[in-house]
Amino acid sequence: MKVGFIGLGNVGGKLAGSLLRNGHDLTVHDLDPDLVATFVDRGAVAGQSPAQMMATCEAVITCLPSPAACDVVVSEMIPKVIPGKIWMEMSTTDAREVARLGALVLAAGGAAVECPVSGGCHRAATGNISIFAGCDRATFERVLPLLTTLGRRVLHTGPLGSASQLKVMTNYLATANLLSICEALVTMKAAGLDLATTYEAIKISSGTSFVHETESQMILNGCRDINFTMDLVKKDIGLFQDIAAAHDVPLEISPLMVRIFEDGIKRYGPRAQSDDIIRRLEEATGLDVTSPGFPAEMLDDEPEAPGYEVVPYR
């Protein structure tokens, strides 16, 4: 299958790299020509435009920073959609918007799949990330070989829109965990506990989590570089809040999280790393929440292996 990939940022570049590494015929496009050039040097073809890529590729994957950016790209591709073409959306986006754009692709005779990822940039780099896929079952089976190259665990979530809702839900949970970890680390530091010991205590206890075992290391190293920025966190938890509001769910924690990240963006800028949200507490307490020996970069030590479909309990 000839595949196009549009959006070579922190996540998209790593996902596209998995396709290239595993021998797929890959055409790439990004607003940054330097990112495109790095892929061309490794054997990919430079796409001229989204429309040209839809015309020449069987499947075109988008991984873009906002629903607005996705709208621009997909609108350009629509005139080139014919039966047999597939649009695959790997961004974290609004469920209503992906359903609207998917309906346009379906009306033109193509197929549409939303397939956001979860698990961090370090797992996107190795093809070990998890993928949620929203589409009809026939389309899912058609794209499953691609998805199991891009990721390790692939869950068919139901119709278009279902994957996006589940993805922002998981990002909401991860953000809540990040904020609670920040409070835990600062409180233990204030109480005089050794932070390396604190890290291990959390890791071996009922308080551990994926977020702790990855992002806490970046916090304690001091780099706070998890390849995810505050503006993206605010977008994702805002999308979750929108789902709750649309269904009259009176959330209490979610609005507070939105306000915390709004304050973080005001203080440090929208492109500040999400883990740097701990600086609010460091500044309030005068404490330095770092510890020697923690890595400055997250690396996935799980060997790359073929992906597989995750089947829910019934």
pLDDT digits (tens, 9 = 90+) for 124-177: 888 899 999 999 999 999 999 999 999 999 999 999 999 999 999 999 999 999
3-state secondary structure of 149: helix
What per-residue confidence (pLDDT) applies to 93? Answer: 83
What per-residue confidence (pLDDT) applies to 219? Answer: 98
- Cα–Cα distance measured from residue 288 to residue 224, given in angstroms and rounded to the nearest whole number: 13
Task: Render pLDDT for 11-42 as a digit per residue (tens, 0 to 9).
Answer: 999 999 999 999 999 999 999 999 999 999 99
Q: Is residue 314 predicted with pLDDT exceeding 90? A: no
92 and 168 Cβ atoms separated by less than 8 Å: yes
Kindly state the DSSP code that residue 156 receives in the 8-state scheme.
Answer: E
What per-residue confidence (pLDDT) applies to 313? Answer: 86
Q: Structure tokens of 85?
A: 């073409």
Q: Structural domain boundaries of the chain? A: 2-160+302-310, 165-285
Please give the helix or strand (H or E) that residue 62 lies within, else none.
strand 59-62
What per-residue confidence (pLDDT) applies to 282? Answer: 98
Q: Is residue 65 predicted with pLDDT exceeding 90? A: no
Q: Is residue 94 predicted with pLDDT exceeding 90? A: no
- Report DSSP letters for 72-102, one per residue: HHHHHHGGG--TT-EEEE-S---HHHHHHHH
Q: State mean pLDDT over 114-128.
A: 91
Q: Is residue 276 predicted with pLDDT exceeding 90? A: yes
Q: How far is CA 288 from the centre of its chain?
A: 29
What per-residue confidence (pLDDT) applies to 263? Answer: 98
198 and 290 Cβ atoms separated by less than 8 Å: no
What per-residue confidence (pLDDT) applies to 139? Answer: 97
- Cα–Cα distance measured from residue 265 to residue 235, given in angstroms and rounded to the nearest whole number: 12
Task: Render pLDDT for 223-271 as a digit per residue (tens, 0 to 9).
Answer: 999 989 999 999 999 999 999 999 999 999 999 999 999 999 999 999 9
Closest to 264 measured CA to CA, from 244, 281, 246 = 281
CATH architecture for the domain at 165-285: Orthogonal Bundle (1.10)
Q: State mean pLDDT over 107-118.
A: 97
- Domain 2-160+302-310 of CATH type 3.40.718.10: no
Q: Structure tokens of 269?
A: 């800028």
Q: State mean pLDDT over 46-73.
A: 95
